[in-house]
Each structure stands twice: as structure tokens, then as C-alpha cells.
Structure 1
């Protein structure tokens, strides 16, 4: 705060407010002015030659006005927080909200999605392996930023992105079938797509869905 500004305190007679700080700034103005900002802070501008005693007198004379405006701002802020929806996150293609208003961190979401995929994956594998006609020797779950899945055909190992749990369940089905198909055909040629089509009839629609945001309200 520069030398043109200083802080005075006003007792408004409201124990909830206590002594309200007011930022007073000397300016090239003719009158003493008072304002309550949107965040509830109080500011005043006074002519250059106004003494601190005169500024304090002015503020004390408007203590009731200050108390009313500050209280009103505080009430509106509380109402706004109460009206605001709790943070949302995506789970199996639907939007969910936290019960306590907590915003999940990226790590917390990855852990939630990991548990969900871990729970769902055995059933998906049991359905997709016979349809595709391939069997993986190992499965791993990873939080990946650029791939939904990957595989190493020589080892028969497949890795699945835990973030698929944010998307509808059929997306996990598709990625599992896609990676299983790569154990038979490493490239994305006509044979590969024919293999995937044995398990997933709407392959193109699901690929398009994976390019969209994960959840719908």
C-alpha cells in the first residue's frame, strides 16, 4: 500500500462484524466518498488535505450504512455458495457430484477410476476374449494421457487406461476388444477391423464417443 493510502477501523455496533477495516485513499476529489466492493471490503476516497481525524469522523458517521452494506454482501456470498452446485466428475458416462462439495483432485479421480475399471474388467475380458478369438497373458491398468489402451503382441500383454471409467461402459468393451484384436493383427488394416467387428458392432460410433467429453448430465 503506498503513502496515499491507509487503513482506518469503524465499529458498527454489530458484534458479528467487529471493527470493519476501511482502506482510505487520498485522491484529487472534492468530497469524501465511501463504497463497499463486491467482495465486502470497504474503501473510501478523500481529498488530499483531509486529516485522518476528519476521515475517521466521516466513517464513524456512516457506521450504520457500512454495517448494513457489509452484512448484505456477506449474506449474498453465503447464498451464492449454497446455491452453487457441488463439484462434478464423470463416472461411466454420467455426471456425478460430491456430497460434501469437495473438488476431487486428479490423483483422487484416477484412483476412483482405477477401482472402477479393476472391478469391471474381469467381466469385460470374459465376454470379449471369446468374441475376438484372442487371449491376453497379462493385463495392466494405467492412467494414460494419450492412449486408451496399448498392447505388446509378442508378450500377449495389454494395458488399459483407467480413465475409461469416465466414459460409458461400452467404451471399455471397445478398447478391450481393440487391444485383443491387436494380438492377432498388429496393424489397423481391414482384417483388424473385421476382427473387432465380431465383438463390437458399433465400433465407429464408440470411437467417435471417445473423442467427446466423458460425461453427460
Structure 2
């Protein structure tokens, strides 16, 4: 991967078989990447980046200013989120397999005595994963029919810089495990966004037209998602 620098700002440059140049600023710290056509020389790319420097810095500042959760300790009375709602954790020690129970305003974490923080986190993460697996298939089935797509697969994993990704060749979308903490409409927005990539690879006017068609309020959902606290990682 090539890299250019503007005022000590590193910018990753990827040249590939595309028609237009694309600029992205990624969370959590504002990494900058430019995707440019193969035919475009580095000086032209540098001039383009320079013209967008103020915008880049504004986007980076937004990311740095975004609220973040403090590191989780997985102890009683600690706040945790599920589907956009805040719950207080209640840690209950027992001599049986670990499990998580959702009760009104509490997330009950049943674990063996003297279990490590990392193990507690793994138990809760697995619970989040299973909950997403209960939610996601229904959305995929609905939008697959709307978009006239076939054979769509999905998988869930932890991602530090994206809410989701799409593998067009495998017809598979990947979803960030952190989405389990966000409202359902935000989960649906990310699913629609990634599935539209099966119709249009790039974030161009055609892509935006598809998302506008299928989910007219997507900008509202995106804004709401980006305003919510990020994981401390």
C-alpha cells in the first residue's frame, strides 16, 4: 500500500480498477484512506487530498470527540447496553455453566467463582452473538426478497473500524458484534447498507439511490448510530 503525507498527516493510497477517486476517514482515530483509479498519478492524488484537508480534519475531530465507554470490569452495578437500552449488570456466582439472563433493567451474569474478567467478557460477548443471530436472519430474509437477491450468508465478528463489510464474491455480509448494543433500526440500517453492496460495489450515486429507495430514513439511523457511545477499544 502506498502512503502520502500532508502536514504530517499520513494517508493510505490504494489504486485499483475504479473510475472515480474515493476518500474515507475511519474510526476510531480517523485513519485516512484514498481509493484511486489505476491511471491516476500520485501528484494528482496529493492535490485531491490537499483540497479535502479541512474536511478530513473535521471528520477526525468528530471521531475523537465521540463519546466512548470506559473499560468494562464486568462487575455488579456496571452499565451495559443491549439493543440501545442501558442495563445494570448483576454478577451472580454459581457452580454451573456460565449464562446470561436479561431481566427488566438488569443483565444477570451467572459465572463460577474467581472467574477472570476476560472470561466474563467472553461469556457476555457470546450472549451478544447469540442474540444477534436471533435478530439478523429475519432482516436478511425480508431484504433479500425486496432486493431480489439469492443465497445471502452472514457472519458476526468484532471489528474496530467498521459496522459491517460485504464480500460480493461469496455473497456474505459481516456484522460487527458491537451492533448488539445498538437499537434494532441501526442494525437493520447496517444490514441494508451491506446488502446493497451486492447490487452496487461502490459508494456512488447508484448506491445512494438504492439505499434511499429501500430505507428512506437511513441518514437518520446513521446519525443516531454514530452519536451513540463507542466501545472503549
Query: Which TM-score tier does this pair reach, normalised by the shorter chain?
Result: 0.5 to 0.7
Q: Is 1:97 aligned to 2:88, yes or no? A: yes
- Determine if the alignment matches structure 1 residue 194 to structure 2 residue 186: no
Match of 1:19 in 2: none
**1:133 Cα shift?**
3.4
How far apart are the structure 2 equivalents of 1:170 and 1:155? 26
Deviation at 1:214, TM superposition (A): 4.8
Gaps of 5+ in 2: 1-75, 93-108, 110-116
Question: Structure 1: which 4+ aligned runs deviate by more than 6 Å?
Answer: 101-104
Distance in 1 between residues matched to 2:132 and 2:165, nearest whole Å = 15
Aligned match of 1:164 in 150, 154, 179? 179
The two structures, once aligned, show a CA RMSD in angstroms of: 2.5
CA distance in 1, matches of 2:202, 2:175: 18
Q: In 2, distance between residues paired with 1:202 and 1:176?
A: 14
Which one has the bigger strand percentage?
A: 2
Give the distance between the partners of 2:80 and 2:150, measured in 1 at CA. 33
Query: How far apart are residue 132 of structure 1 and its match?
Result: 3.1
| Residue deviations 1:143-162 (CA, integer Å, cap 9, x gap) | 11211111111221111112
Q: 1:136 to 1:147 in 2, by over 3 A?
A: farther
Deviation per CA, 1:96-154: give whole Å up to 9, x if none.
11234868944333222211111111111122222333335321111112111111112
Higher helix share: 1
Residues 211/154 of structure 1: CA separation in 2 closer, same or farther (3 Å cut): same
Which of the pair has more CA radius of gyration?
Answer: 1
Cα distance in 2, alignment partners of residues 147 and 177 from structure 1: 15
Unmatched 5+ stretches in structure 1: 1-84
Which range is displaced more, 89-98 or 139-148?
Answer: 139-148
Q: Secondary structure at the match of 1:211?
A: helix
Counterpart position of 1:42: none
Contact preservation (8 Å) 2:144, 2:152: no
Structure 1 CA distance, aligned partners of 2:91 and 2:172? 40
Aligned length: 132
